[in-house]
A and B are shown apart, each in its own frame.
Chain A
Amino acid sequence: ILNVEQSPQSLHVQEGDSTNFTCSFPSSNFYALHWYRWETAKSPEALFVMTLNGDEKKKGRISATLNTKEGYSYLYIKGSQPEDSATYLCAFPHQAGTALIFGKGTTLSVSS
């Protein structure tokens, strides 16, 4: 079983701070890298699906970058707000057309 590693495990920031998390994955046989946000008492929701080395994706104040050669992706949140508090999951398919392997997530808490 291939592993997807996320760091840090948890993070607490103040409103307005910018922050970033890391997702590390095997760099061989890369197919895609997914980011999901999971708010308490809700279902996980997809943020980004990234497929190309050097990809950068943005959704509002959240953005992500991808380096497939070295096997990592960064998720950035600019000007964190309390509503950004959630667990952020990254996931990686270990074979084409098969289910995703998830990391343990980074839990972000934003205080106002």
Chain B
Amino acid sequence: DGGITQSPKYLFRKEGQNVTLSCEQNLNHDAMYWYRQDPGQGLRLIYYSQIVNDFQKGDIAEGYSVSREKKESFPLTVTSAQKNPTAFYLCASRDRDATNEKLFFGSGTQLSVL
């Protein structure tokens, strides 16, 4: 079945540690996105990629990094510079980065700081 797979489901980070969240899609979508959700907040955009080898910062990119070396993969690294990383992270994709294209979402990763 086509879809978006995020792993791991739960992740714990130690102080000063970088961690990477995986997002893989087999929908052949060009555009991929990372959102963060905090309690009482809407989904906030971290990074997005319209095409392989290209990505743009979203509203809250500081302390995060991404790569898009393959069409199906868009990993997110939470660096030690992100001082408040505890949140729920959602990856999404769509056929192309166009306003009338709906998003497909993964099941999310809950990141917590030890």
Contacts and interface: CB of A to CB of B under 8 A. Distances in A.
Interface in A49-95: 49, 51, 89, 91, 93
B102 to A, nearest CB: 4
Interface string B4-16: 1000000000000
Main SS of the interface on chain A?
loop
A104 B90 contact: no
Contacts of B106: 43
Interface string B94-110: 00011111111111100
Contact of A45 (B44, B99, B105): B105
Interface residues of A, number: 26
Interface residues of B, number: 26
Main SS of the interface on chain B?
loop
B23 to A, nearest CB: 12
A93 B107 contact: no
A1 B44 CA distance: 11
Residue among B42, B59, B100, B104 with the highest chain A CB neighbour number at 10 A: B42
A46 B102 contact: yes
Contacts of B105: 43-45
B103 to A, nearest CB: 7
Nearest to B106: A43
Contact of B35 (A34, A46, A51, A102): A102
Interface of B: 4, 33, 35, 40-45, 48, 50, 58-59, 90, 97-108
6 contacts: A34-B103, A46-B104, A49-B101, A51-B100, A99-B58, A102-B42
Q: Which 6 pairs show the lowest CB-CB distances between chains A and B?
A: A46-B102, A31-B99, A102-B43, A43-B105, A32-B99, A104-B42
